[in-house]
Chains A and B, each alone.
Chain A
Amino acid sequence: MTKPTCEDTLVVKKRDLKNDYYSLVLAPFSQAKSIQPGQFVHIRLPSTDIYFRRAFSVASVSPVKEEVEIIFKVFGRGTKILGKLCKGNSLDLLGPLGVPFSFPNKKERAVIVAGGVGFPPLMFLAEKMIEKGHNPKQIEFFYGGRSKAELVELSRLKKMGIKLHLSTDDGSAGTKGLVIGPVEQYLKKHLKEKIKLFGCGPEKMLKAVDELGLKYDIKGQLAIEALMPCGVGICLGCVVPLKAGGFARVCCDGPVFEIGVVNIAC
């Protein structure tokens, strides 16, 4: 695993993805090339009011330009500050941190389940898989949100040539209802194929993906979100209970866990 480093970076690009979603590209970060999908960076906010860092999964990297992209939705105090940053502002990054997704082998079909703000690390996963030679048609990307406006970066996902399945709670785009419905239908139809599941999103969705994996005996991984004071494994503040008993640290035993391991609360 790459040693995490702490570096001052600059916002080199900011995009307003609408509906409070933003993309920030930060550079130069010397470890950009070694960041793997599922890993995160811990960001120190340029604010005297907020002491602790905020963890953001990486949405993409440009190794040559030493760039790291994060995508987030303005939700609380921290993201509010990030959303107001402009090109040229500086940000202190600590990373890469956490256990990344393990890539499925090329014969396996990847069923990716993204819920709302959970999509960035999965988009990164799909992108890296294709880069490594995975057939994009073997990537089924289920992306769910409350409404059409909550589904962002759609043209970027479409360009990747993956099979995109959209769903929204209100039916304004794709299938009406929770993302998990179409996922289960798909799994049922393809039970004979070699499939690997990947998920990131709200806890309820993660729990449902975990249950599907166990129900149909499909292996896979889930990226879990937690408030992390340190992000490097020393504070023990971000733990989640394990089904086998005891706790695991989301920051360094995860954030990516195998299906069936974490007792997901919701």
Chain B
Amino acid sequence: MNDESQPASLLKKFTVGENVKTTVRRAILLALFCLLLFNYVLLPVRVRGISMEPTFHDGSWHVANLLQFATRGPRRGEVVVISMVGGRRTLYLKRVLGLPGETIHFFNGQMIVNGREETEPYLGDRGKWTLPQVTLAADEYFVAGDNRTAPLETHTLGVVKRKKIAGGVFR
């Protein structure tokens, strides 16, 4: 073997491997795997807006786990992604506060579930929201953002159906 062919064969070995067919097959399999993984299991999401401050910041990137609630329902305090109508390119990012069957209300910023005061360690400022009681049906959750300093009327919060909760989020 001459000196010129050795680098060329090394380059080939590191790019397409020794067997081109095998390499192409592996590349296709890897692409398929990534396509499925990043569409149906782990979804990269970018936060827009300040409704989840101080936990999630405007413009930050995170990964949604679409299988998180495949075997169980969301728990209180978990951050979830919620599908909007028409697809999954835009999702709400909210925290679960009330679970199915519970009664939830706010008084001067304090969350009260089934008559018991709940602590919310993830809040920066619990704000001064006051909301009358909401009783949740068997397939409903109460969700809100962490930014309680925002006026109630400008904040998206309320009742969401279980089927709309698409998954959880890694911080």
Does A associate with B in a complex?
A: no
CB within 8 Å of B: which residues of A?
none
